[in-house]
Structure 1
Amino acid sequence: MPSFDIVSEIEMHEVTNAVDQAKRELGNRWDFKNVEADIELEDKRLTLSAEQEFQLEQLVDMMRMAFAKRNIDTRALSEDGESKAGKLVKQHFTLKQGIETDMAKKIVKMIKEQKMKVQASIQGDKVRVTGKKRDDLQEAIAMLREAELDIPLQFNNFRD
């Protein structure tokens, strides 16, 4: 029976490359000369710091552009809020990996509401979709790509 998995994963190597690229751009920009600004990546947490609020906004834009150049979906970044430490303003982000249970339930519900000839089941941090025909599975993929979900989805492990 044909099946595929719906996952939400980001390649950490590409994230590291995007952070390095943004740091190089930070060093080259004239508006950041003699400014204390930095981008740090620790495990799955990203911290951007600058002296002023508008500089922090510029850093966030630079980071999002670096992600876009590396084909990393920026929906994988979730804001954890701002903090002030001394004369620095910091913005914290968490990199989201995997599909949370609530989102998985929403995906399963969307598939069932379309009355497609496929079955969806939650398996940990992914959703497995099975059906009798390959065309039905491709129809489910097309429907999910068109849906406005706030997480990036990938479709892998397609078996015939």
Structure 2
Amino acid sequence: MAKDNSFDIVSEVDMQEMDNAVNQTSKEISQRYDFKGSNASITLENENEIKLTGEDDYKLETILDMLRVRMAKRNVPLKCLNPGKIEPASRGTVRQTIKIEKGLSKEKAKDVLAFIKTLKLKVQAQIMDDKIRVTGAKRDDLQAVIQAVKSKDFDIDLQFINMR
């Protein structure tokens, strides 16, 4: 009897690298000339959000751009950031909360699952918590699924792990 092969589709963020990117951005803010004398800051509040503060929308956008550059250098997916709206804060400053999206939401998982079914390959896919397990008899079919899912944009960063 042939043994089924499988792999998992996940959306993960390396939080240590994210913390490093936030710390590097904070250090750059303290050293840049255009931020001298301002109370602009970036902090990693918890595992799920980043808080930005600054004098105006332009400074917040600049901080977010600096963070994205640091994340890209550290291979942290940029699609995991979900910026919230800019809100007024104390002393004439503004703040923004950025959510860090980790794991596959049920809606995104259903979209990926429906896409895999349209491929008409001999594979089975099922949602397991915040990941999708894809199984099939042929490794070539599994490789075809990986290539097809990589080619389609689901607005989240997907990784393919546990290939067996």
**Fold match by TM threshold 0.5:** yes
Kindly state the Cα deviation for residue 56 of structure 1 after the two structures are TM-superposed.
1.2
Kindly state the Cα deviation for residue 120 of structure 1 after the two structures are TM-superposed.
0.6
- Could you say which residue in structure 1 is the equivalent of 2:45? 42
Structure 1 segments of 4+ aligned residues over 6 angstroms from their partners: none
Letter in 1 for 2:6: S
Separation in 2 of the partners of 1:101 and 1:55?
35
**What is the 5 A alignment of 1:85-104?**
85-86=89-90, 87-104=92-109
What 5-or-longer segments of structure 1 have no aligned partner? none
2:126 to 121, 127, 150: 121
User: Identity, % of aligned pairs?
Assistant: 43
2:152 to 131, 147, 151: 147
Normalised by the length of structure 2, the TM-score is: 0.94
- Could you say which residue in structure 2 is the equivalent of 1:80? 84
Q: Which moves more between the two structures, 25-34 or 79-88?
A: 79-88
Deviations 1:88-109 (A, max 9, x none): 1111111111101111111110
Kindly state the Cα deviation for residue 80 of structure 1 after the two structures are TM-superposed.
2.2
Separation in 2 of the partners of 1:104 and 1:54?
35
Deviations 1:120-142 (A, max 9, x none): 10011100000111111011000
Asked if 1 retains the 8 angstrom alpha-carbon contact of 2:57 and 2:86, the reply is: no
Separation in 1 of the partners of 2:62 and 2:160?
33
Separation in 2 of the partners of 1:155 and 1:131?
15
1:6 to 9, 13, 16: 9
Letter in 2 for 1:8: S
Q: Count how many residue pairs are aligned between Structure 1 and Structure 2.
A: 159
Separation in 2 of the partners of 1:158 and 1:42?
34
**Structure 1 residue 105 corresponds to structure 2 residue 110:** yes
**Structure 1 residue 17 corresponds to structure 2 residue 25:** no
What 5-or-longer segments of structure 2 have no aligned partner? none
- Could you say which residue in structure 2 is the equivalent of 1:29? 32
Letter in 2 for 1:89: V
Separation in 2 of the partners of 1:53 and 1:109?
39
SS at match of 2:155: coil
Separation in 1 of the partners of 2:93 and 2:64?
15
Kindly state the Cα deviation for residue 76 of structure 1 after the two structures are TM-superposed.
0.3
